[in-house]
Amino acid sequence: MSKVAFITGVTGQDGAYLSEFLLKKGYQVHGLKRRSSLFNTDRIDHLYQDPHVDHQNFFLHYGDMTDSTNLIRLIKEIQPDEIYNLAAMSHVAVSFEIPEYTGNADGLGTLRILDAVRLLGLEKKTRIYQASTSELYGKVQEVPQSETTPFYPRSPYAVAKMYAYWITVNYREAYNMYACNGILFNHESPIRGETFVTRKITRAVARIALGLQDKFHLGNLDAQRDWGHAKDYVRMMWMILQADEPEDWVIATGKTTRIRDFVHMSFAEVGIELEFKGEGEDEKAYVTKCNNPKYQLEIGKEVLAVDPRYFRPTEVELLIGDATKAKNKLGWECQYNLNDLVKDMMASDIKVMQEQQYLEKGGYKTMNYFE
Ligand code: NDP
Ligand code: GDR
């Protein structure tokens, strides 16, 4: 009998990679998707199976993290061996705009999953993975950050995730449930949401190199993040649920990089060198060399400016994770380093933007560039 997994947030970056991973392992995978007025399944369309054929092992169900009765019914019907709770309003800056909704979906949503499992009497059968985050560490208390570092959340998102973290621990202790937090540091990929900083950068660099756009804007260039590849991180979500005992785990690369260095690396990938001039809100980046004959960029061209619109009311300045526990007890190691990640993202975005360039040359309007 194949194992049954239920993934909330199946249409997101991690949900898509985790679905692929579990299907390859022979799982039957059920995913929660939201109803939307346009299709929102781009990242998992390649996994879609016609429900009219036999041997279907990938199923999508409508639902929402704010809807308890829906979650209880689905978990009752699916009877999952493993639940991966990945659904969340996951954008830190946006959480300042919609704090109450973020608390409801990200904080109480986690309670709804845990309590559904308890109410249905599935405590002994169903293992639960909670998508916790390095944002819990917030204002720097110690570096590198490990499972014992105190939390100091700095956004409505992080505060909601702090509730989710502790309610997971509490249900584990109170009801003897197999429920774990994966405290994952930032992980990115070619299918990362377009408004997270890495993808915003790789998309803009590809468009600038191809002459589709002149420049783009960023906020805090000095924040530092511990970036890994999402493919490595979803493997760890599964490994966390295979451990003998339910515990909480930090997953990170142990290296940190400034946003401005990610900008340099992304431009360098297409043969363009930059220099930054000015300070704070007046900082800008200019082309100093263009080593690739395919891309015709003028030396001295301004390609990036700081826009204070992207500053956050409270910022998380430095994240660097210590994943020693996961290395020693779960055998965690990453296959991708930051260079591999940048290469993967740039190659993919150049391809996406070349398709747009082709359509635009043919007189078709493709898309606007949203920052
Ligand atoms: P994404 O933003 O790419 O995906 C979020 C998913 O949650 C989407 O499928 C989204 O649906 C769904 N969702 C949002 N709100 C609701 C809701 N109310 N009801 C049901 N589904 C909802 O996030 P990632 O894949 O990057 O991250 C996965 C999880 O891991 C999130 O919980 C995130 O907070 C957490 N995390 C992420 C890290 C990272 O670096 N990526 C690091 C640490 C933690 P839709 O497609 O319809 O919008
Ligand atoms: P983060 O990711 O907040 O760490 O949360 P994001 O990529 O949004 O920001 C990283 C850092 O870059 C700075 N920054 C900008 N960020 C965005 N989005 N847009 C900009 O223009 C910009 N300019 C500078 C930010 O200020 C920040 O310091 C991600 C999400 O996936 C969370 O769900 C997850 O929990 C954490 O990673 C770990």
Ligand with the closest atom to the CA of 237: 1
Ligand 1 in contact with 14 (CB < 6 A)? yes
**Cα–Cα distance for residue pair 345/356, rounded to 1 Å:** 17
pLDDT recorded at residue 360: 86
Q: Could you give the dihedral angle defined by the CA atoms of residues 370, 214, 346 and 273, in that order, rounded to the nearest 10 degrees?
A: -140
Q: Band of the pLDDT at 6, cuts 50, 70, 90?
A: very high
Query: Pocket around ligand 2: residues whose beta carbon is below 6 Å from it?
Result: 90, 92-93, 133-135, 186, 195-197, 200, 218-220, 223, 225, 259, 310, 312, 315-316
**CATH fold of 197-224+258-315+339-361:** UDP-galactose 4-epimerase; domain 1 (3.90.25)
Residues 6+ positions from 34 with CB-CB distance below 8 Å: 11, 40, 62, 63, 64
Q: Which atom of ligand 2 is nearest to the CA of 199?
A: 7
Q: Where are the domains of the chain?
A: 4-184, 197-224+258-315+339-361
Q: Ligand 1 centre from 52 Cα, in Å?
A: 29
Q: What is the band of 192 on the pLDDT scale with cuts at 50, 70, 90?
A: very high
Q: What is the mean pLDDT of the chain?
A: 96
Q: Which atom of ligand 1 lies at the shortest distance from residue 16's CA?
A: 25
287 CA to centre of own chain: 30
Q: What is the pLDDT of residues 28-87, one digit of tens each?
A: 999 999 999 999 999 999 999 988 887 899 999 999 999 999 999 999 999 999 999 999
Does the pLDDT at position 369 exceed 70? no
- What pLDDT score does 53 carry? 82
The pair of three-digit structure tokens given for residue 310, joined into one six-digit string: 């992207």
Selected from 3.40.50.10190, 3.40.50.2000, 3.40.50.720, 3.20.20.10, the CATH number assigned to the domain covering 4-184 reads: 3.40.50.720
